[in-house]
Amino acid sequence: MLISLIRTLIMYAAILISVRLMGKRQISQLQTSELVVTLLISELAVMPIQQHNEPLWNGLIPMVVLVACEIVVALFMLKSGKFRQAVCGNPIVVIKDGQVLQRQMRRLRMSTEDLFEELRQAGAFALEDVAYAIIETNGRMSVLKKSAADSLTPKQAGVKAPPEALEVVVISDGQISQNSLKLCGHDPVWLRDQLKHQGAELSEVFIMTARTDGKQMIIKKQQEKP
């Protein structure tokens, strides 16, 4: 039992390191090569855990090789557009100028139900509102709505929009995030001054956010009822 636990922890750490080396992506955003490597790594990790008579290296070495191959492939894709097309394919237009391209849908083996589901997830609930719909190489759909059906932007309305500001969580449940402080251009001295100004102790703060435009917000912890 102890051996199984130790092997599981080792393989868990190995998978985390492997995924971290390949980069941060959601499952739905994986390219073809990344998906293949992810599936193979999961299969390789199971074997050393279940088969105690097999050494861990039988699973770890192939995982290292797969991750190295994925990194090399990613570097080649950065250098060569043709190589990237060969590995990942090309985006495919399924709606052009409001017209559904049935031939492209058959090529993708996409049903009309699939098409409308993807459109709804992209915020388009009527086919007549769509100007272009493109299936990207990671399988996700990008939708460009017709100008008459799209949301009106401040630029189109002739209204001056407020400047963009990044908001980050600098305190989470009493814990300071140094990385978030750097992102918004502040330091711990500034944070302590703000807490003092608001009359709040660090241990009392549930969430504190800070914005790059100088604004901040504090939500204190709720006192539990006895």
Give the pLDDT of residue 144.
Answer: 93
Give the pLDDT of residue 150.
Answer: 81
Give the pLDDT of residue 102.
Answer: 94
Which of left, alpha, beta for 158 (phi over 0: left; psi -120 to 50: alpha)? left
Phi, psi of 128 (to 5 degrees): -70, -15
- Between CA 205 and CA 225 the distance in angstroms is 18
DSSP strand E in the chain: where?
Answer: 92-96, 99-100, 130-135, 141-145, 167-172, 175-176, 205-211, 216-220
Give the pLDDT of residue 191.
Answer: 93
Give the pLDDT of residue 30.
Answer: 65
Of the candidates 95, 153, 148, which has an alpha carbon nearest to the alpha carbon of residue 122? 95
Give the pLDDT of residue 3.
Answer: 73
Element (H, E) at 173: none
Q: How many helices (H) and strands (E) does the chain have?
A: 9, 8
What is the DSSP-derived secondary structure letter of residue 226? Answer: -
Per-residue pLDDT of the chain (226 residues; tens, 9 = 90+): 677 777 778 877 887 777 777 665 545 556 667 777 777 887 777 777 777 777 777 778 888 888 888 888 888 888 887 888 887 788 999 999 889 999 999 999 999 899 999 999 988 988 889 999 999 887 889 999 998 888 878 887 888 877 778 899 999 988 999 989 998 889 999 999 999 998 999 999 999 999 988 889 999 988 766 5
CB–CB of 211/165 below 8 Å?
Answer: yes
